[in-house]
Structure 1
Amino acid sequence: MRISRTRTAAGLAISALALGTLPAWAAPTETTAASPARTVAAGAPAAYQGQVPLQGAVNVRDVGGYRTYDGETVRTGRVFRADALSKLTDADLTTLSRLGLKTVIDFRVPAEVQYDGADRLPAELAPVSRPVTDNGLFTQLITAIGAKDPVKQEEMLGNGRAAAFMRDVYRTFVTDSTNRTRFAATLRDIANSRSPLLYHCTSGKDRTGWTTYLLLRLVGVPERTAVADYLASNTYRAAYDAKVREALKQGGMMQNPDLIIPLQEVRTDYLDTALSEATQRYGGLQGYLTKGLGLDAGTILRLRERMVD
């Protein structure tokens, strides 16, 4: 009983530290949540190389492998993050089967699924549809490209408008009650599941990136490491996204396909926007998690017990 109580107390303390809620003297000065993500990301280590190599998806990764504040390690093989799974090959399905997944959560809205196709999964799996609004991002992108009009595309995406639109998307992660409900449901699924789980959106970088950032912070991973994992989508997606831009130019769809780079990338500025909104509405990340998402101490402890060695 004493060991159990000690582990429980330690779990709560580490989770509090990860969320920057302990006194300043108790937290590592370079990784406190009070520091802007842009600042702490500057010296961040390379993201853990947990990629699951697939032919039909480029941003599929094991969330595990990171060290926590107290020197423990986030377990591998428990939770995976991904981009769209609609173009998986037969070989990909074999690879996916080896992960032992029992749950696949799809954050895409119906328009994305209709355009890109439903998940292609091993026979024993069916996706759980849990759409998180992209604030019209997908429609915005399709409309801009479909116009084939460089003037209209510049008006829609140029002069910082694309990046501003992305910041608005991230605000909805905090302000939209349905989004909060679905992020919370996913974190509870992870806490309560004893089998491997995967969640994904279209590019595996924004809705999926935010979910992963929350999960890593909750289980005690330092801010700078969680930000590095978030930013790693730019590395995993770089070659594919460059090919998309080149195809748009060669196909006569866009004279300046670089206009969509802010929509293709993740940036600390976007993450900062969501975190600032969480501070404004809930007093910080912890308030967002406990009040905005409704996660109680028991759920947070179960997350840590499931995810950390």
Structure 2
Amino acid sequence: MLEVVRNPARAADALGHGQAVELFHDAYRHIVSSTSALEAYRRFFTDLAAEPTRPALFHCTTGKDRTGWAAAAALLLLGVDEEDVFADYLLANRDLLPAFQGLFEQFTAAGGDPEILKPVLGVDPSYLHAALDEMRRHFGSIHGYFSDGLGLDAQAQGELRAALTRSEPHP
């Protein structure tokens, strides 16, 4: 990806005309329903529910895609309104895009259109919509995702909810 960003013409060919957005729609669907993702999220949420692993901080390189889905799924499981989940998800643009200002400037100086990079370096509500559509198509609801997709029964989901809402002492 870095090579594409360094070459504005290549970036335009690979990411322009809505291609980047479509790539992310596919990626978010994969995050929700692929076998490897389901196994990884099952481990993640099982570990998160286990007392010895808390408090916990979870992140990835930019903390917006895989981490964004993990945060959205957890919030939805807790009963947070979908509108609020989207508001939280979209904070990535406010908090993350300014960190890439230098990259945007270099790309622009090399003749690139910085708008091509925004779908890659930021988030778009349509990404999370793609994930939620995939979740509903395969599992019906967030509870179906956790039970049928991740294999966490009602008791395990309850333990996860309790773990995420319980106030624990800080060292």
**Is contact 2:72–2:85 with CA below 8 Å preserved after alignment?**
yes
- State how 1:52-91 maps to structure 2 within 5 Å: none
Q: Which has the higher strand share?
A: 1
Match of 1:55 in 2: none
**Is contact 1:217–1:226 with CA below 8 Å preserved after alignment?**
yes
Match of 2:135 in 1: 278
**Is contact 1:183–1:293 with CA below 8 Å preserved after alignment?**
yes
Q: CA deviation at 1:149?
A: 5.2
- State how 1:43-122 maps to structure 2 within 5 Å: none
How many corresponding residue pairs? Answer: 165
1:163 maps to 2:14: no
Q: Which has the higher helix share?
A: 2
Write the distance in 1 (CA, Å) between the matches of 2:143 and 2:103: 38
Whichever residue aligns with residue 165 of structure 1, its letter is: L
Give the alignment's TM-score, normalised by structure 2: 0.87
Write the distance in 2 (CA, Å) between the matches of 1:219 and 1:149: 42
Write the distance in 1 (CA, Å) between the matches of 2:22 and 2:164: 35
**Is contact 1:219–1:300 with CA below 8 Å preserved after alignment?**
no
**Is contact 2:93–2:123 with CA below 8 Å preserved after alignment?**
yes
Whichever residue aligns with residue 2 of structure 2, its letter is: I
Whichever residue aligns with residue 180 of structure 1, its letter is: L
SS at match of 1:199: coil
1:205 maps to 2:64: yes
Unaligned runs of 5+ in 2: 167-171
1:244 maps to 2:103: yes
Write the distance in 1 (CA, Å) between the matches of 2:134 and 2:164: 27
CA deviations 1:156-201 (Å, max 9, x no partner) are 1111111111111101112311111111211111111243111111
Q: Which has the larger radius of gyration?
A: 1
Alignment match of 1:184 (pick from 38, 42, 48):
42
Write the distance in 1 (CA, Å) between the matches of 2:75 and 2:8: 42
**Is contact 1:219–1:303 with CA below 8 Å preserved after alignment?**
no
Higher relative contact order (CA 8 A, sep 6+): 2
**Is contact 2:76–2:142 with CA below 8 Å preserved after alignment?**
no
Runs of 4+ residues deviating >4 angstroms: none
Q: CA deviation at 1:214?
A: 0.9
Q: Percent identity?
A: 32
Write the distance in 2 (CA, Å) between the matches of 1:180 and 1:200: 17
Write the distance in 2 (CA, Å) between the matches of 1:282 and 1:221: 19
Q: Rate the CA distance shift 1:231–1:305 in 2: closer, same or farther, 3 A.
A: same
Match of 1:227 in 2: 86
**Is contact 1:190–1:197 with CA below 8 Å preserved after alignment?**
yes
Write the distance in 2 (CA, Å) between the matches of 1:198 and 1:149: 35
1:218 maps to 2:77: yes
Q: CA deviation at 1:143?
A: 3.8
**Is contact 2:29–2:131 with CA below 8 Å preserved after alignment?**
yes
Alignment match of 1:174 (pick from 11, 14, 32):
32
SS at match of 1:159: coil
Q: CA deviation at 1:268?
A: 1.4
Match of 1:294 in 2: 151
Match of 1:144 in 2: 4
Q: Rate the CA distance shift 1:149–1:266 in 2: closer, same or farther, 3 A.
A: closer
Match of 1:258 in 2: 115
**Is contact 2:90–2:123 with CA below 8 Å preserved after alignment?**
yes
Write the distance in 1 (CA, Å) between the matches of 2:131 and 2:3: 25
